[in-house]
Structure 1
Amino acid sequence: MTTALFSEVGKPEVRAATKIYKFDFGSGSVEPGYIGVSATMAYNRSQGYGFNTPENMKNVTGQDTGMASDAVQFVTVGTKSNNTFNVDLPNGLYEVKVTLGKTGRTSIAAEGVYQIINMMGDSAVDKFQIPITDGQLNILATEGKGAAYTLSALEISKISHRAVTRRTIYIGGDSTVCNYYPLVNSVQGGWGQFLSQFIDGNTFQVRNMASEGQIARGFRDDGQLEAILKYARSGDYVILQLGINDSNLKNEETEAEFKEIMRDMIIQIKSKGATVILSTPQGRATDFNSNNVHTAENRWYRPAILALAKEENVPLIDLNVLSSAYFTSRGPEATLALYMTKDYLHPNRSGATELARLVAEDLANKELDGFN
C-alpha cells in the first residue's frame, strides 16, 4: 500500500508494487494507509500532489465516519476550471475511485471533461477508468445540483502501463437510464446502471453518462457528449436514448429539431470511429389497453428515432416495443411493481435491471461485434 509519493528526481513514484494512491481529504484525522490532504495543501513537484489553487478550496465536515467524516469543498468549479487536485502519475491506464463528502449532487471532472455525472447523496461512491498521457491527473468535484461540491477520499490504482482503455459502451440518456446512488442498493434505477451485469466485462467497460431531465440539446451542448468524444474510438459503442423530456413542451424542442440534434451527435460520434446505437424509451407502467396489452409506440418522438436510425444506418434498440412485450407478459399489477411507488414513468431497481437485460439481449441478437 502506498503511503507517500516522492522521488529523488522530482517525479512521483509508487513505492509498492500495488501502485495504489490513497488520499483522505479534510482537516480531521487521517485513515490508516491514506495520505492526508487539507484544503490548504498546494501542489508542488517534489511532493507530487496537491491543489492547484488552494485559495479556492476549503475544509468542511463530512456526514459519515472514517475517511468520510471530513472533506474538501471545491469553491470554484466547472469542467474547465483550474481549481483541481493534481497527482503526478506515470503514464498509463488508471482506475479512480471517488468518495464524496456531504453534498446533494456532485459531478466529477478530470482532464477537462466530465467523468461521472451527478453522484447523489452524502458519501456517494463511484469509480471510472482514465488514461493518463501527460504525467498528471487533474480532478475536481463540480456542478450537479446544490451548492456543496465535495470530496472525502480518492483512490487511484494503476491498471496498465498502456494509456488505453479497453473497449467501452458509452450510454447517453435521461432519468430512466442514469445511475442512482448508492449504486449497490439504490431504490430507484436507470437501465444504464445495470447494463454491465449483462455484458462481458472482459470485453467492455460501461460508462453511463446519462442524467436526470436531459434532452438531446443539453446532452450535446453541456459537456456529456464532449466527454464521450474525448475518449471514444473504433470498437466502442455509444447508446443514445433520449426523447422523453425532449417532447415536453417546456423544453421547446420540436420533433424535427430533436431529430437533427440527434443526427448531429451521430455524425460527431461516427467521426471518432465509434458505433452509434439508438434506443427508444420504454412506456409508462400504466400504458395498458382494455385487453391488458401494454403499448406506448406513439410516445416521446419515437417516429423520429426510427426514421433517424434508418437514414443514418445505425442499429436500433426498440426498447419501447421490447419492454411493452415484456410488460404485457407480466400483466398490469406485476408491471407496477417494476416502477417507483406512485410514479409510473421511472423504474425502480428491479425494473431497471429488467430493462438492462432486454437491452443486452437485443444487442446480442443483432450480432454486433463483442456481444454474445
Structure 2
Amino acid sequence: MKWLKSVRYLLCLTLFTSLIGGALAVNGGQVAEAAANEYKFDFGAGAVENGYTGVSATDAYTTAKGYGFNTPANMRNVTASGTGVASDAVQFVTFGTKSTNTFNVDLSNGLYEVKVVLGNTARSSVAAEGVYHIINMTGNGATDQFQIPVTDGQLNLLVTEGKEGTAFTLSALEIRKISNQTVTNRTIYIGGDSTVCNYYPLGSSVQGGWGQLFPSYVNTSTFQVRNMASSGQFARGFRDDGQMEAILKYIKPGDYFILQLGINDTNAKNNTTEAEFKEIMRDMVRQAKNKGATVILSTPQGRATDFNSANVHTAENRWYNASTRALAQEESVKLVELNKLSSAYFTSIGPAATLTLYMTGDTLHPNRDGAAQLARIVASDLRRQGLDGF
C-alpha cells in the first residue's frame, strides 16, 4: 500500500501548493493577490509594501494577470509625500467619468468594498463603472472607501476631477468581496453643498459637513451612508454634472435619498431663479421616487449670526426654503426642517456658543462639532418621523 500513500501525499501537496500560490501576492507583472477574494495594489515606481501587488504606470491590463491599466500610455509614475503605500503613486493624465483610461481588475460577480488611497492632490474624485463614487477628496494621501456591485466580471476605476488643473493620483487600492449579491446594502444617499459634504481626513478634519458626520447617528448594520454632496454645488449642477447620475445608477427600494440645496442657488453667479430651483429639485425627487427610494428634503441651516435683538435665531426666509417646504408637500415626501430645528437649537445655546460651532471667521460653514450637531438633529427628526435605521 506504499504506492497509495505516495499518491495521497502527492495529491495533498499539489492541492496545498495550488492554494498557497493563489493567495500569495507577487510582483513583476504576475498574478495579483486574491486570498479570500481580497486584492491589494501599491501603485508607482517605488518599493512595494509587503502584502501588496506592485503596479507601475506602464503595466497594461492582460487577461493572464487579471489587472492593469487599459491605456498605460495615459498614465504616469509620480512621487508622493506620504509613507508606505502613500510614498508614490500613478497619475491619470486623461480622466473623466466616461474615460477609458481606467485601472481594470478581473473580479467574480458580487458586492465589493473598495478602499482608495490617493497620492498628492488638491481635489480629486473617484469614478468606477462610468459614474462618480467618491466626490472631492482633498489633501495629500486622502483615504476613503465605497461599496460597488460588479456584474460583468471586471472593476474599471479611475481618479478624476475634482478640480481641473490638479493632479489626479492614486497610491493604493484595496478590494474586498463582501457578498455574492450584486446589489449594494441598504443605502442612505445624501446630496448637498459645502455645509453637507465630506472633508478630509474624514476622521479628523477641522471643517465638517453634516453628511460627513451622519454615519455616527445611523445604525450601520442597517445602512451604509454615501455622501455625494460637494462644495459650491447647486441644484442644476447636482442633477446635470454626474452626482445624481451616480445615485440613480444604484439607488433602489429600501434606500433613502436626502437632498439639501438652495444656498448656492441663491447666488447670482449660478443664474437660478426660485421657480427654476423648485422644478429642478422636483425632477430629482421624482427620479429617485421612480426608483422606489424614500426621498427626504431638507432645508439648510442659517448663518451663525442670524439672531434678532431678542437673541432668537431665525433664518426661515433664506436659501429658497419656502420652495423646498412647498415641494415636499406637493410631492408627498418627507421634510426635515433643519433650518427651523437648528435655529431652535442655536437659540437654546445662545449666540456665543453658536459661533463656536462654525469655522473661525466664517458664519456659514460648520466646523466638525457644528456638523455633528446638525447630523444629530437630522437623524433625530427622521427617527421622530418613523424612519428606521437611526
Measured against the shorter chain, the TM-score band is over 0.9
* Contact 2:124–2:137 (CA under 8 A) maintained in structure 1: yes
Answer yes or no: is the 8 Å Cα contact 2:300–2:319 preserved in 1: yes
1:131 paired residue number: 149
Q: 2:201 aligns with which of 182, 192, 201?
A: 182
Work out whether residues 33 and 40 of structure 2, in 8 Å CA contact, stay in contact via their aligned partners in 1: no
Cα offset, 1:318, TM superposition: 0.5
1:200-236 per-position Cα deviation (integer Å, ceiling 9, x unaligned): 1111000000000000000000000000000000010
What is the aligned-residue identity percentage?
A: 71
Question: Larger radius of gyration, structure 1 or 2?
Answer: 2
1:226 aligns with 2:245: yes
1:3 and 1:156 mapped to 2: Cα distance? Answer: 15
Q: Which residue of 1 aligns with 2:161?
A: 143
Please give the secondary structure, in 1, of the residue aligned with 2:161: strand
Corresponding position of 2:112: 94
Instruction: Summarize the alignment of residues 92-171 of structure 1 with structure 2, pairs less than 5 Å apart.
Output: 92-145=110-163, 146-171=165-190
More helix by share: 2
Match of 1:291 among 304, 310, 314: 310
1:61 corresponding residue in structure 2: 79
Which residue number corresponds to residue 64 of structure 2? 46
Aligned length, in residue pairs: 365
Moved over 2 A (4+): 1-6, 12-17
Distance (Å, rounded) in 1 between the aligned partners of 2:295 and 2:83? 43
| Structure 1 stretches lacking a partner, 5+ long | 7-11
Amino acid at match of 1:247: T
Secondary structure of the structure 1 residue equivalent to 2:287: helix
Q: Does the 8 Å CA contact 2:74/2:101 hold for their aligned counterparts?
A: yes
The alpha carbon displacement at 1:13 in A equals 8.6
Match among 90, 112, 117 for residue 72 of structure 1: 90
Q: Distance in 1 between matches of 2:305 and 2:379?
A: 24
Instruction: State the secondary structure of the residue aligned to 1:278.
Output: strand
Query: Superposition pairs for residues 1-372 of structure 1, below 5 Å?
Result: 2-4=23-25, 15-17=34-36, 19-145=37-163, 146-368=165-387, 370-372=388-390
Q: Is the 8 A contact 1:100 1:150 kept in 2?
A: yes
1:66-103 Cα offsets, whole Å, 9 max, x none, are 11111000011000000000000111111000000010
Q: Distance in 2 between matches of 1:13 and 1:284?
A: 51
Whole-Å separation in 2 of the counterparts to 1:319 and 1:325: 10
Question: What corresponds to 1:9 in structure 2?
Answer: none
Contact 2:32 2:53 in 1 (8 A): no
Contact 1:3/1:34 (<8 A) preserved = no
Q: Is the 8 A contact 1:93 1:165 kept in 2?
A: yes
Contact persistence 1:30–1:67 (CA under 8 A) = yes
Q: Distance in 2 between matches of 1:149 and 1:230?
A: 24
Could you list the per-position Cα deviations for residues 140-175 of structure 1 after superposition, in whole angstroms to 9, with x for gaps in the alignment?
000111420000000001111111211100000000
- How many Å separate the matches in 1 of 2:115 and 2:33? 17
For residues 43-67 of structure 1, the C-alpha deviation after alignment (integer angstroms, 9 at most, x for no partner) is: 0001000000000000001011111
Post-superposition offset of 1:371:
3.3
TM-score normalised to structure 1 length: 0.96
Structure 1 CA distance for aligned equivalents of residues 26 and 286 of structure 2: 43
For 1:317, give the aligned amino acid. V
The residue type equivalent to 2:251 in the other structure is A
Shift of residue 3, structure 1, vs aligned partner? 4.1
Deviation at 1:257, TM superposition (A): 0.2
In structure 2, relative to structure 1, the CA distance for the partners of 1:193 and 1:160 (3 Å cut) is: same
